[in-house]
Structure 1
């Protein structure tokens, strides 16, 4: 058990000894099996250097080595498993005085009001406004990368509604700060403890009416300015910074305007086609320029939903080794920005003109923003890269997972958008692996980050490469089976149990992790299926993008994913039905590999039925085909057993089948 005392309380983390024993035992046994597999493969090459199966064996062996390498890196996550860390506060500090709470900045990002509905974004904003935090210490920033009037109108309406919502939450102790979640039928759980007095019910009805009015005003704004944010304006618009305040247009009582709320700022950074805008990292740095791994140095910062110390983004170590002589070289020429770094309080007269200067395209010229300080621009996955740099400077992170979620938001709502998002993630990860920030080399040069932490970062960075192994194992053994070339040991071989153990060990350990984390066998099965789907599509395309970008063939791009909620998609999701309304770039590989394995399995099984002589040599390849088909059952079902809107399109099924048959025909000619 680790224990760290502080002014606020005691920080405790517990190692899980039984889980540690299970993890390390599995690592040991699995590693021994992998060494035996490597010995088996190498012995073949020495004993059969001129065999016609040399190149198929080499490709399969390379894929096995790659999967083993990624598996080995991932063992760092399991080496010292711990339960969630808690902060235990003394009773007298359960409600600390406001002076003990530091200034807190909340950043909210949106890039496209058509793909990220304005009403949903404003609900997130209102939830942040309603945080139980001293208003004078809380600043909220909404970054609108598209510079859309729809978003600007929405934030003004949200600020107006917050004057009703925040006092209501504070007075009656409402635990659900999101009005949409609170007033929805699904919010019944949060309303069980509601006060049932006449005064409360009356106020609740008033606030609900105000919320409906807010929604109508927001939707009216969306209709009014729909289409006004053109593609060109999203990449070419001036900087706009506004501190959002309410006027008294609707004649509300003056006391309502006196309610103390956090500072709310709308930010749209300047964008020009002639200046790189660095995607989300650029938007993050504009705001920063203002004002599993629990047993190691803490979890990696990925996506959203994390708090971060500003000093860590300024290239300053936890020991506080500031160097004022390099401030202007690193941060630019803004005196107002320097104030917090020098230990001074934020100026209350911070000019909007100064903020717009910080949001301009040219402010970062001649300083180190995006290169040494702030969120770094060397990868489209700026959070992962910045997390690596921060940990290498000695900072630690803590995983917090309370019973009631700290953050709620919308994710992608369709298979197509999910795969687009995963493609971008894998592009960014592999960019890191083949850059100067490769964790295996970058971290080894820095003493502040441990070996296990380095392995965790490396596992993420190299993970996209597993897509090449999946493609190899989904095609090469199958094609070899058609021509009687075995690539796995025969059933009677002493190495056959080695392959069986590796297969069972990997699947059973994953199932174990799913079950102890509260999941079910169905969750495990879906994770396995989605791992294969993402591996042959999104991971593969992301890896190709990264490799082509490395040789200068193409540049990285950023496409916001669609988070508009579709009721039909939600209904199918609740029915455990896969939705295959996706691009042909994603559907064609799925259909092609399913059809290839179906054809090969049928031919291979037919040969065994006719003649039992060679079943021992081909059993491994035949079982691999069967397993792929089993994991692909939702795809097969959508091809032949469904006719709903989200079934697998017939044109993709037919087209992929024809392509596979043509490839098999030409291959048969080559091997004649």
Structure 2
């Protein structure tokens, strides 16, 4: 379905302040026998339709749960897109995701502080940050060619872009060629746009491969941004004082973990594919940039080490088997220095970005929870796909706000409702730590070597303190 809601021809004789832009509603065709390619397919359909309807050189991508909070965002982005020093190689200007419903005690780390205030700003200094999938102004030409290679796919245009003269002319116009194409929206243009939004148009073309948003990964925007950087395009990151776009963050454990599992699965899939930043990326971008992408794609394997650190030292503490150096051993200083320096670094990053000690503590806790649940399941999901046990699945995050969940979130209480699958390993890990800690203390009271078991006991205690809200949430369930 395609409907022109407002045509610019109605602006004739209207004051400049009262003029409205072209507004077109598009609902692309879907059939069970044709893959619709999720968000990437929708974006590619919109690119084609907008190409023959208005053909603006830039486009704003926003998720359905976000809205514009500052109308000057376009002006801010254009300051970079139109800069003669940057324009030739700039693909998109990324704004951070800011959420209007983040509580002061952000127990789920919904604001994603470490990403938007630390990692993204760091990547901005090495030719561009990751594409977040929403809140960015994209140069459409970047999806059709490499920098300074405007004719790359135009030599066999119908084979690459599809059988549409209007669409091919719109691409030529974006790449700087003079095209005599009427800008009026006629019935023929509307019918052509419907054809471009059909599910069969992309067959035997390069859409979803070298052209448009890629279909090789369910994290379509992030992966497409990565491919743009590999092709030589750059990006910029803008973090203005006034949030330009506001959205709705997750307010319960289930949605937070489902969302992260989707991200983890998609990123690990990229890391293990032929497009891995350590092989494909490193030959097409700087070493630092490929290392950053490598961190994002492989960091979820931390879940394995977190799981081991949550099981092995604790069991050894229970049975009196030393794993770490004695507290009186000089090597103990090395372990203590690594642990304390990592906490100090984390605290510095939090405080320097406007956070507090409570913010740091919440991030430590939710990082541990997510590592042994969503990240672990995300890695397992990819492994199961590789051996053919599971199929690729696009998981939607709930965008509706439940008042009861919102009240719990604002009070800083965890809501585990609907997260049973994730809670199984987490609950077992917490109960294991509790049992091993009590059993290990009993062994120390009965004559165990405190110096030998100090680090393991401290680690066990640290995990329990982090896990206190989980125990607090489990006690009522056990009582029932």
Q: Please, what TM-score do these two structures have when normalized by structure 2?
A: 0.78
Match of 1:505 in 2: 341
Give the deviation of 1:426 after TM superposition. 0.5
Q: Does 1:261 align with 2:20?
A: yes
Written as runs of structure 1 = structure 2, the 5 A alignment for 1:512-551 is 512-551=348-387
Identify which of 405, 430, 433 aligns with 2:268: 430
Q: Does 1:414 align with 2:249?
A: no
416-425 or 567-576: bigger deviation: 567-576
Q: How many angstroms apart in 1 are the aligned matches of 2:41 and 2:329?
A: 57
| Aligned mates of 1:318, 1:624 — CA distance in 2 | 55
Shift of 1:552: 1.7
Q: 1:370 aligns with which of 182, 196, 208?
A: 208
The one-character-per-residue Cα deviations of 1:429-468 (angstroms, maximum 9, x if unpaired) are 000011011011011222xx21111011110000111111
Deviation (angstroms), 1:515: 0.5
Q: Which runs of structure 2 are paired with 1:611-630 in the superposition (5 Å)? A: 611-612=447-448, 614-630=449-465
Q: Who is 1:650 aligned against? A: 478
Residue in 2 that maps onto 1:397: 235
Would the alpha carbon gap of residues 318 and 297 (structure 1) be closer, same or farther in structure 2, given more than 3 Å must change?
Answer: farther
* Paired residues of 1:270 and 1:359 also in contact (CA < 8 A): yes
Measure, in 2, the Cα distance between the counterparts of 1:541 and 1:583: 13
Q: How much has 1:241 moved relative to structure 2? A: 1.6
User: CA shift at 1:512, angstroms?
Assistant: 0.5
Q: What pairs up with 1:461-500 in 2 under 5 angstroms?
A: 461-500=297-336
Q: Match of 2:467? A: 632
- 3-state SS in 2 of match to 1:398: strand
Displacement after TM superposition at 1:319 (Å): 5.8
> 1:368-409: CA deviations, max 9, x gaps?
111111111111111121111101122111111112111112
Say which of 32, 35, 51 aligns to 1:273: 32
Mapped pair 1:592 → 2:420? no
2:161 aligned with 1:331: yes
Higher relative contact order (CA 8 A, sep 6+): 2
Hey, what's the Cα distance between the residues in 2 that align with 1:633 and 1:454? 38
Aligned twin of 2:118: none
Contact 1:413 1:564 in 2 (8 A): no
Native 8 Å contact 1:339 1:346 kept in 2: no
| Deviation at residue 299 of structure 1 after TM alignment | 1.1
Give the deviation of 1:620 after TM superposition: 1.8
Q: Secondary structure at the match of 2:259?
A: helix
Give the 3-state SS of the residue equivalent to 1:408 in structure 2: strand
Pairing 1:442–2:287 present: no
- The whole-number CA distance in structure 2 between the counterparts of 1:590 and 1:491 is 29
Deviations 1:577-597 (A, max 9, x none): 222223211222222111110
Contact 2:318 2:437 in 1 (8 A): no
- TM-score normalized by the length of structure 1: 0.56
Contact 2:6 2:24 in 1 (8 A): no
**Structure 1 residue 276: deviation in Å?**
1.7
Taking the aligned partners of 2:430 and 2:202, their CA distance within structure 1 comes to: 50
User: In 1, distance between residues paired with 2:206 and 2:199?
Assistant: 14
Once the two structures are TM-superposed, the CA of residue 320 in structure 1 deviates from its matched residue by: 4.0
Counterpart position of 1:169: none
Runs of 5+ in structure 1 lacking a partner?
1-239, 247-253, 644-648, 655-672
> How far did residue 321 of structure 1 move?
5.3
Question: Larger radius of gyration, structure 1 or 2?
Answer: 1
Deviates more, 1:271-280 or 1:594-603: 271-280
CA–CA separation in structure 1 for the residues paired with 2:396 and 2:283 = 36
What's 1:582 paired with? 418
SS at match of 1:244: strand
Superposed CA deviations along residues 44-101 of structure 1, whole A, max 9, x for unmatched, are xxxxxxxxxxxxxxxxxxxxxxxxxxxxxxxxxxxxxxxxxxxxxxxxxxxxxxxxxx
Q: Deviations over 1:543-578 (max 9, x none)?
A: 111111122221111132111112232222222222
Shift of 1:492: 2.8
Taking the TM superposition and a 5 Å limit, the aligned residue runs for 1:106-145 are: none
Deviation at 1:625, TM superposition (A): 0.7
Q: Find the aligned partners of 2:323 and 2:29 in 1 and give their Cα distance.
A: 57
Measured in 2, the distance between the counterparts of 1:480 and 1:326 equals 66
Any idea what SS the aligned residue of 1:308 has?
Answer: strand
C-alpha displacement at 1:318, in angstroms? Answer: 4.9
Measure how far apart 1:325 and its partner are. 0.7
CA distance in 1, matches of 2:150, 2:191: 31
Tell me, in whole angstroms, the C-alpha distance in 2 between the residues paired with 1:451 and 1:331. 33
Question: In terms of mean alpha carbon deviation, does 538-547 or 355-364 score higher?
Answer: 355-364
Instruction: Name the CA distance, whole Å, in 2 between partners of 1:477 and 1:461.
Output: 28
Give 1:346 deviation, angstroms.
7.2
Indicate the residue corresponding to 2:43 in structure 1.
284
